[in-house]
Structure 1
Amino acid sequence: MKLKMNYKLATKCLYSDKEGTSCDKSGAISFPIYQSATFAHPGVGNSTGYDYSRLQNPTREHLEDIVCSLESGYDALAFSSGMAAISALMEIFSPGDHIISGNDLYGGSIRLFDNINHKNQITFDYIDTGNDDIESYITPSTKAIYVETPTNPMMNVTDIVKVAAIAKKHNLLFIVDNTFLSPYFQNPLVLGADIVIHSGTKFLGGHNDTLAGFLVVNSAELSEKLRFIIKTIGSGLAPFDSWLILRGIKTLSIRMERQQKNAIKIVAWLQTNEKVKNVYYPGLPDHPGYEISKKQSRGFGSMLTFEVETSDLALKILSSVQLIHFAESLGGVETLITYPMTQTHADLSQEKREETGITPTILRLSVGIEDIDDLIYDLSQAF
């Protein structure tokens, strides 16, 4: 008889701590890709536990078990992209509902809120959730508080425990996008959040080769609501993509440690560069969120943003990097540099960008696993 183990995070990246998840009896080390749209029934009223892959598929289920384990959740649901996950989540709200949201979010989230969800008569207040008085924005229609921490791209930090207490006091859902730190460095559910969001495309996948999204919840009630939504709208992650994310998660712990180590060295180099005006990284002792980050996270991650002297210099760097890729996305093994003005936050008005500090001199860096000397040399020659 096998004993159930209480695995550490690095081990959970390889094995779900849920017993009986494998459908395969061959002894295969790599979990199989069940590339099947439908499943046969032994008879009327009898089922193997799987009916149709829109509802559930063994490969997706195994992936969900691992992500749920990593976040210490009740249930996890895997979607075809991060935006598909957020879109499905918004379906638990009704016309007239109000959501308090962070004002420094991924531009795609704001685009969804301001267009699709606004059309469906859901309203939003965008505030600085790390500093503003959240309770002053709560109304009888408020149903949730939605934050990213650290934020994209300005790396602002919100105190998860503090906001969780406010949400609980007012009977609100507390939603945290945990993409930037991944479950390896931060677990919002443990700190009091109700729902955690991940763009699985990023650190969980880690190889810039597929799209995925996740919702991890802390209760049976939320699980039931979202399971109904995912089977109804049909945005579940496909078997092969589920397998790619499974493969990526196996090296999550190693990648996160190496990427963070590289990021810390790049931050130090940027601070010595006279052409760099500001560096935004929660691991800097003078960062406003440094103490909170130390309290609620196990690491500072590998995302950083920096501001250069002029917009011309920013454009020169983007066109001059050779090893580093000028591209959207983040969290992969390759280092990527992004220009939020024209990429991740292009759909925001100039006024909204300026409110959060996104100017033509701002660059975002997702640090990969390359040799640090090569990365710094490339940045140096690009400057």
Structure 2
Amino acid sequence: MANFDKFETRAIRKQTERSQQKEHSVPIFATSSFVFDSAEEARAMFAEEIPGNIYSRYSNPSNDEFIEKMCLLEGTEDGMPTASGMASMFISIAPFVKSGDHILAARSLFGSTHQILTTILPKWGVSHSYVDLNDLEEFERQIKPNTKMIFVETPSNPALDLVDLEYLGKLAAAHDIILNVDNCFATPYLQNPAKYGAGLVTHSATKFIDGQGRVLGGTVLGKKELIEEVRFFARHTGPSMSPFHGWILSKSLETLAVRMEKHCENALNLAEELEGHSDVDWVKYPHLKSHPQYELAIKQMRHGGGLVTFELKGGLERGRKFLDALEMISLTPNLGDTRSIATHPASTTHSKLTEEERLAVGISPGLIRVSVGLEHIDDIKEDLFRAIEVSK
């Protein structure tokens, strides 16, 4: 029998069993609960003696199909869908820590993940330490007897720094610590952290997984025994994905490969042209040869991703003028869309950090993050370079 196991085919052809209607496209299971054939069946399902759907806060066929595809594409044993990306970040951490425990995290993190570690978890008595992504030996030096998890983003948001996943996977295994990797920027098409030893892989599916700015969603994927704890925690705290969103996201996966190929092609083209511009101090893109971790990017990532960051001369005020001068590229707190998006992190996504904290993770006053969309690259460049000129 043929083995149709290529990424694109799996993303399209993996689906739940068809109903008696023999639908070609999987339907939405828009129901809050499910019926039982008998009192005994209800008892057995609640006792988890037999499989089946009980309540959509626990499971739903639309969400199950989406998460089964994600596990297949990421190479993980099990997974859990969530209502948003930040819900997935939180429930990938919370079930595994208690008062007195410690988390080791990369310093360069999304603003809301930073808030979980610095504001929310300390109320539970959970401490953390930050490590520079570029100092691998510091990760080992900072491990404490009570360290339960290493949490990283790679590439990081928004500086696009990378961390060596193979090194961290071996380090986590040696110390019996969970390695938790936010793979949102890369997607399973470009990078698979589980291959390097990550026990948990998280995504904001709102970004490239959806890819069209329509729905919120997240996933926690990983080893079966870890996801069982995540599932128990989620079942009783309720960060459930809408079945409609699960259906949308499952359909989105069918075009993930072709979309990511174009995002990456456009992003590399833009990064190469930005690099020689007189009003740009520096450009960061993982598959740009000038990236300080270019060799690691080539090793870990199939392509460089859809994000480009650059430092515009003139600092904070120049950055704001640049955004105001854009005509086509959107100003919105999202990324991974078909539409190109520009963000000034110092005044928006990372504005709650102190200036010292921002500089420590590479967010300078003039840093611009561009989520490079699927418009024609000539139009993207025309709008961006004209805005650079107007903002002088």
- TM interval, short-chain normalised: over 0.9
Tell me, what secondary structure is at the counterpart of 1:306?
Answer: strand
| Aligned equivalents of 1:23, 1:77: Cα separation in 2 | 22
- The answer for unaligned runs of 5 or more in structure 1 is none
Deviation at 1:29, TM superposition (A): 2.2
Residues 64-109 of structure 1: per-residue CA shift (max 9 Å, x gap): 1001101010011110001111111222211111011000111110
1:81 aligns with 84
Would you say the 8 A contact 1:282–1:293 is kept in 2?
yes
Would you say the 8 A contact 2:108–2:133 is kept in 1?
no
Which structure 2 residues correspond to residues 219-238 of structure 1 after superposition, within 5 A? 220-238=224-242
Residues 252-287 of structure 1: per-residue CA shift (max 9 Å, x gap): 001100011100110111112100001011111121
Distance 1:360 1:75, change over 3 A: same
Tell me, what secondary structure is at the counterpart of 2:252?
Answer: helix
1:50 aligns with 2:49: no
| Aligned equivalents of 1:25, 1:195: Cα separation in 2 | 37
| Aligned equivalents of 1:335, 1:60: Cα separation in 2 | 28
Deviation at 1:300, TM superposition (A): 0.9
* Total equivalences in the alignment: 377
Which structure 2 residues correspond to residues 68-147 of structure 1 after superposition, within 5 A? 68-92=71-95, 93-132=97-136, 133-147=138-152
Deviation at 1:6, TM superposition (A): 4.5
1:205 aligns with 2:204: no
1:289 aligns with 293
Would you say the 8 A contact 2:133–2:161 is kept in 1?
no
Would you say the 8 A contact 1:96–1:122 is kept in 2?
yes
| Aligned equivalents of 2:22, 2:347: Cα separation in 1 | 49
2:7 aligns with 9
| Aligned equivalents of 1:348, 1:24: Cα separation in 2 | 51
1:27 aligns with 2:22: yes
| Aligned equivalents of 1:195, 1:169: Cα separation in 2 | 16
Deviation at 1:23, TM superposition (A): 5.2
| Aligned equivalents of 2:266, 2:161: Cα separation in 1 | 20
Would you say the 8 A contact 1:23–1:58 is kept in 2?
no
1:379 aligns with 2:377: no
| Aligned equivalents of 1:374, 1:124: Cα separation in 2 | 44
Tell me, what secondary structure is at the counterpart of 2:365?
Answer: coil
Report percent identity of matched pairs.
33
Tell me, what secondary structure is at the counterpart of 1:262?
Answer: helix
| Aligned equivalents of 1:275, 1:214: Cα separation in 2 | 39
The correspondence for 1:239, drawn from 240, 243, 258, is 243
1:38 aligns with 2:33: yes
2:361 aligns with 356
Residues 275-314 of structure 1: per-residue CA shift (max 9 Å, x gap): 0001011111121211111112211111111001112321
| Aligned equivalents of 1:159, 1:298: Cα separation in 2 | 15
Deviation at 1:54, TM superposition (A): 0.5
Deviation at 1:15, TM superposition (A): 2.5
Residues 135-183 of structure 1: per-residue CA shift (max 9 Å, x gap): 1101111111111111001111100001111111111000110000100
The correspondence for 2:257, drawn from 221, 231, 253, is 253
Paired residue type of 1:280:
K
Residues 209-234 of structure 1: per-residue CA shift (max 9 Å, x gap): 1100100012x211211111111111
TM-score (norm 1): 0.96
| Aligned equivalents of 1:379, 1:127: Cα separation in 2 | 34
The correspondence for 1:265, drawn from 269, 281, 291, is 269
Deviation at 1:4, TM superposition (A): 7.5
More helix by share: 2
| Aligned equivalents of 2:139, 2:17: Cα separation in 1 | 44
TM-score (norm 2): 0.93
1:64 aligns with 2:67: yes
Would you say the 8 A contact 1:101–1:129 is kept in 2?
no
